[in-house]
């Protein structure tokens, strides 16, 4: 069995090759210096768990990809992956200012993904619990309308902030409804218009 330094060095080299990265690019992802990544590759040191977590979060891979030796008798099956952009955090409580530029990317398997343009938004707050937990990465399919009862990413407050709510219609009036009864619904009217970004199709949460 190889020592941990050799295992990690081999896995880091494989990661750099598979994602066509140089050491400086990986250093930025991990939040460390380029020389630190060089030490990992040369088996002079091992990454701290915080750096490992940043790497696996960025690429959507398990920690074992970095930390564990791969059995040599297994045949790897190549699977196509795509990178989906992550937008500014999505508010599941009080809406927060939404930055429209991409903050990051998440690499996911292409197989089984919904059709259409996809983006991720990070849920913040507890207004959509228990359906969507605080901190979950919510996949949004861009579309201008959703069915009543579905969860949508919605621009509010003059299209400057984004929130995640269930679209409900009661007596001809549209509401943005939280799933958590501790939060109040938001009335949609001329004084409080909304713009739907898209439909929430799935979410992911790291342990």
DSSP string for residues in 5-59: HHHHHHHHHHHHHHTT--HHHHHHHHTS-HHHHHHHHTTS----HHHHHHHHHHH
Among the listed residues 83, 86, 60, 205, the one whose alpha carbon sits nearest the alpha carbon of residue 140: 86
Residues 100 and 187 placed together within one structural domain of the fold: yes
- The more confident residue out of 122 and 158 is 122
Contacts of 118 (CB under 8 A, 6+ apart): 84, 139, 140, 141, 142, 201
Burial class (CB in 10 A: 0-12, 13-18, 19+), 163: buried
**H-assigned helices in the chain:** 4-18, 23-30, 34-41, 49-59, 64-67
State the residue range of the domain holding 19.
4-67
Average pLDDT of the residues of the chain: 84
CA 159 to chain centre: 22
Query: Which of 115, 127, 168, 199 is the catalytic position?
Result: 127
Clarify whether residues 108 and 182 are in a common domain.
yes
> Which CATH number covers residue 45?
1.10.260.40
How many structural domains does the chain have?
2
Tell whether 77 is covered by a domain.
no
Q: CATH number, domain at 149? A: 2.10.109.10
pLDDT computed for residue 98 by the predictor: 42
Distances from the Cα of 179 to the Cα of 45, 142, 166, 186, 189, angstroms? 47, 22, 7, 12, 21
Residue 127 appears among annotated catalytic residues: yes
Residue 72, domain member (yes or no): no
pLDDT at residue 64, rounded to an integer: 85
Q: Is 95 helix (H, G, I), strand (E, B) or coil?
A: coil
Kindly tell me if the per-residue pLDDT of 96 is higher than 50. no
75 is a domain residue: no
Pair (103, 181) in one structural domain: yes
Residue 170, both tokens: 């009661």
**Same structural domain, 86 and 158:** yes
Q: Is the pLDDT of residue 38 over 80?
A: yes
Q: Which residue is catalytic, options 89, 165, 168, 169?
A: 165
Considering the domain architecture, whether residues 113 and 144 belong to the same structural domain is answered as: yes
Which residues lie closer than 8 Å to 176 by C-beta, 6 or more apart? 154, 156, 163, 165, 166, 167, 168, 185, 186, 188, 194
pTM for this model (two decimals)? 0.57
User: 35 vs 84, which has greater pLDDT?
Assistant: 35
89 is annotated as an active-site residue: no
Asked if residue 106 and residue 21 are part of one domain, the reply reads: no
pLDDT digits (tens, 9 = 90+) for 143-189: 989 999 999 999 887 767 788 999 998 888 999 999 999 999 999 98
In this structure, is residue 74 part of a structural domain? no
The residues with which 175 forms a beta bridge, in sequence order, are 168, 187
CB 162 within 8 A of CB 91: yes
- Please give the DSSP secondary-structure letter assigned to residue 192: B
């Amino acid at each position: 069995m190889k020592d941990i330094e050799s295992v990690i060095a081999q896995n880091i080299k494989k990661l750099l090759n598979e994602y066509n990265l140089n050491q400086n690019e990986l250093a930025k992802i991990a939040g460390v210096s380029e020389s630190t990544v060089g030490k990992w590759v040369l088996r002079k040191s091992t990454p701290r768990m915080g750096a490992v977590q940043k790497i696996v979060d960025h690429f959507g891979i398990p920690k074992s990809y970095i930390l564990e030796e791969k059995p040599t008798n297994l045949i790897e099956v190549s699977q196509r992956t795509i990178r989906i952009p992550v937008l500014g955090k999505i508010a599941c409580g009080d809406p927060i200012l939404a930055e429209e530029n991409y903050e990051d990317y998440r690499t996911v398997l292409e197989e089984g993904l919904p059709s259409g343009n996809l983006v991720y938004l990070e849920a913040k707050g507890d207004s959509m619990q228990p359906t969507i937990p605080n901190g979950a990465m919510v996949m949004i399919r861009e579309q201008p309308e959703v069915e009543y009862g579905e969860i949508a990413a919605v621009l509010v407050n003059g299209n400057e902030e984004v929130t995640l709510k269930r679209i409900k219609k009661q007596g001809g009036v549209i509401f943005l409804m939280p799933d958590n009864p501790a939060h109040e619904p938001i009335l949609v009217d001329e004084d409080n218009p909304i713009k739907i970004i898209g439909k929430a199709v799935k979410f992911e949460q790291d342990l």
